[in-house]
Structure 1
Amino acid sequence: MRQYLQAYFAKMRGGGKPSPHALNWRNALCSWLGSFVGIAAIAYLNSYSDLTQHDHFFLIGSFGATAVLLFGAPTAPFAQPRHVLGGHLVGAIIGVTLYQLLPEPLWLSTALTVSLSTVAMYLTRTLHPPGGGTALIAIIGSDKVHQLGYGYVLDPVLLGVVILLCIALLVNNLSPLRKYPSYW
């Protein structure tokens, strides 16, 4: 047991790999441009669309994390279209379903929605960490989120993800140093 515990805690020191090197300015600029345009497009829809007058909204917090992956680490597996689209959709569907079946106690519904979403994304090969956030928002979101029901999956989730992916395809391929996606 002692040997197991020593090995267990030794893992927490890290793998001995150096931290990633700093990005060059071209990549940093491309990351900024993509993140800015992607979030600005969704926020614009959120602010100026007639749809927002009817209690629809477009901007959810997990899109910020998706933008960081899409534009800051476009070659990462979690940033590929299958993962981005699938992860958010899986998370949204599971989140809405769990809210409808088990809205209380909150500690249980939130833990279940994130853990079940993680397993479902893993099994469908669509693991995307912000998808867990999308699932969580379906549980802890405002009444506006809860009133959407499964509409949450389409609007804001699907709509926002499609906007971010389209902008990722356009912006990430502007630089000769980048190629997006690595795979579909």
Structure 2
Amino acid sequence: MSAVSLLQKMRGAGVSPPRVGAPEILWSFLGALGGIAAVAWLHERIADPAGLSLLIGSFGASAVLLYGAPASPLAQPRNLIGGHVLSALVGVTVRLAIASPDWLACAVAVAAAIALMHATGTLHPPGGATALIAVTGGPKLLALGYLYALIPVLSGALVMLAVALVAVNAVPSRRYPQYWW
């Protein structure tokens, strides 16, 4: 059996997910560029000089959903905001409740965040990373305590949402959000 035919068999007889065209790639790129640039610029100019942070790694994953898959149920405002904020609160609570071992705090934070997002209808996969960051973040983030849920989490997510409203809706073939709440 040739390598090509083996791959086709593994993919279900040659069926693979549809690819997007160049315009979709361009608009996803521009949206992500604008969203992350806005959050990073605000971090550099406002938050960091004030001793705060506005930029966390899970926002990169949110950018994939918001700008690359804006019709996804996981990318809608309720999921973006609720998923991040609830996960941040869970992560901080777990960090305060379980001082060690670290592996247990990490596992409980992510698992509890997923459960809470499911229970509240706010599932946003980057929320798992937001909870994990609350447990494993550096001293600057850990010192924030529950403020972490507001700055950087809520404020950064709101900036990305604002950019998504403009960037995604700038194209007639794209629409965001599909629903608000």
TM-score, normalization: structure 2?
Answer: 0.90
Unaligned runs of 5+ in 1: 1-12
- 1:179 partner SS: coil
Structure 1 residue aligned with 2:154? 158
- Please state how far the C-alpha of 1:16 moved relative to its aligned partner: 7.2
- Please state how far the C-alpha of 1:17 moved relative to its aligned partner: 8.8
Which deviates more, 98-107 or 14-23?
Answer: 14-23
Structure 2 residue aligned with 1:117? 113
* AA aligned opposite 1:24: G
Tell me the number of residue pairs that the alignment of Structure 1 and Structure 2 aligns. 171
Q: In the aligned structure 2, how far is the partner of 1:86 from the partner of 1:36?
A: 23
Cα 1:14–1:110, aligned 2, differ >3 Å: closer, same or farther?
farther
Q: In the aligned structure 1, how far is the partner of 2:14 from the partner of 2:42?
A: 43
- In the TM superposition, 1:1-184 aligns within 5 A as 18-49=15-46, 51-184=47-180
Percent identical across equivalent pairs?
46
- 1:150 partner SS: helix
Cα 1:82–1:18, aligned 2, differ >3 Å: closer, same or farther?
farther
Q: In the aligned structure 2, how far is the partner of 1:28 from the partner of 1:172?
A: 12
Q: In the aligned structure 2, how far is the partner of 1:146 from the partner of 1:16?
A: 49
* AA aligned opposite 1:91: S
Unaligned runs of 5+ in 2: 1-9
- Please state how far the C-alpha of 1:104 moved relative to its aligned partner: 1.0
Q: In the aligned structure 2, how far is the partner of 1:77 from the partner of 1:103?
A: 35
TM-score, normalization: structure 1?
Answer: 0.89
Cα 1:119–1:16, aligned 2, differ >3 Å: closer, same or farther?
farther
- Please state how far the C-alpha of 1:77 moved relative to its aligned partner: 0.8
